[in-house]
Amino acid sequence: MEDWVQEAIKKVQQEVGPDKRVILGISGGVDSSVTAILIHKAIGDRLHCIFVNNGLLRKNEELEVQKTFKEQLKFKNFHYVDAEDLFLGKLKNVEDPEEKRRIIGHTFIEVFESKTIELEKAFPDIKYLAQGTIYPDRVETSATSNVSAKIKSHHNLTLPEDMTLEIIEPLKDLYKDEVRKIGLQLGLPENIIKRHPFPGPGLAVRIIGPIEKDKLSILRDADEILIDEIKKAGLYDDLWQAFCVFLPLKTVGIMGDFRTYEYICAIRVVESLDVMTANFAKLEWDLLEKIGTRIINEVKGINRVVYDISNKPPSTIEYE
């Protein structure tokens, strides 16, 4: 992989040239972070990282990402954009998963272009948009073949036709495990390298049906409990992904002496090597009981927790 890294750096240098600048969307996940480090090594501070808070992030993620890149990694040109109201406004009452992804992908680019116009006042040589797209993203979007069936669109690959920036995707032929190895070679912090994958559309694809702020809050709190217990059990690094899903169904429950009628939380925990296939993790019953009990007792709005025992295929890892 060391030879690959050096070749990738040279390729970026050749593609961008000696005097052009690149912007890159940072999510805080492995793919975009490795892309950022790789391009930064190639062109230095001519890389401008833009972190868009789309209102669909995990709990406190907007603060953690800024701390990582500004303080830990010392990125000079790191730009934060709070676009929560814009994204949630456009997603209001939208139920279809593909429509959600389309809206998020296009809005993401709109925000990028708007921020780019602002930056061009100081840096008129910004000409490229880098993305952390990896090979499985392209496979699921049927971007690798004229005959492959599209499973779902990825927001990195859902771009408007009139976009003015040229695309750079240095990781587009790699699998996630390869990206992680490259990240270690590039000196990324372990908390980024080992972080579980997070979908580009964020929590929008982990809430079935329309997106609402109260549902996002419920999902964030439940997810935080799940990850906390998974880490306490020493399992986090051995799992591919662990997350909660908000199901828009209400069921009857009992809390103390009172009847409740609240939502269902599904837990999705999978093991995988390359994300093309995955098996649900066979967690200990005691751990599942502890997770479920904490979520029901601590998260207002949930009174039932279920565990997803579906493999990929036939099910995808994400619900939408």
| Residue 320 resides in a domain | no
Interacting residues of 7 by C-beta distance below 8 A, sequence separation 6+: none
| Residue 203 resides in a domain | no
Which residues face 25 on adjacent strands?
50
**Residue bearing the bigger pLDDT, 302 or 72:** 302
Domain with 281 in it: 212-307
**Shared domain check, 262 and 169:** no
The answer to whether residue 92 scores a pLDDT higher than 70 is: yes
**Shared domain check, 180 and 97:** yes
Q: Could you tell me the CATH number of the domain that includes residue 152?
A: 3.40.50.620
Mean residue pLDDT across the chain:
89
**pLDDT tens readout for residues 136-174:** 776 755 544 444 444 444 444 444 455 577 899 999 999
At residue 140, the pLDDT reads: 59
The answer to whether residue 25 scores a pLDDT higher than 90 is: no
Mean pLDDT for 105-130 is 87
Relative orientation angle of helices 97-120 and 84-91, to the nearest 10 degrees? 150
| Residue 312 resides in a domain | no
| Residue 207 resides in a domain | no
| Residue 129 resides in a domain | yes
**Residue bearing the bigger pLDDT, 104 or 275:** 104
At residue 157, the pLDDT reads: 43
**Residue bearing the bigger pLDDT, 70 or 206:** 206
Per the CB < 8 A criterion, the answer to whether 171 and 133 are in contact is yes
- Say how far apart CA 71 and CA 75 lie, in whole Å: 8
**Shared domain check, 45 and 112:** yes
- Say how far apart CA 91 and CA 145 lie, in whole Å: 31
**Residue bearing the bigger pLDDT, 306 or 69:** 306
**Shared domain check, 175 and 282:** no
At residue 234, the pLDDT reads: 97
At residue 161, the pLDDT reads: 57
**Shared domain check, 228 and 174:** no
**Residue bearing the bigger pLDDT, 163 or 280:** 280
At residue 194, the pLDDT reads: 86
| Residue 316 resides in a domain | no
- Say how far apart CA 82 and CA 61 lie, in whole Å: 12
**Shared domain check, 175 and 113:** yes
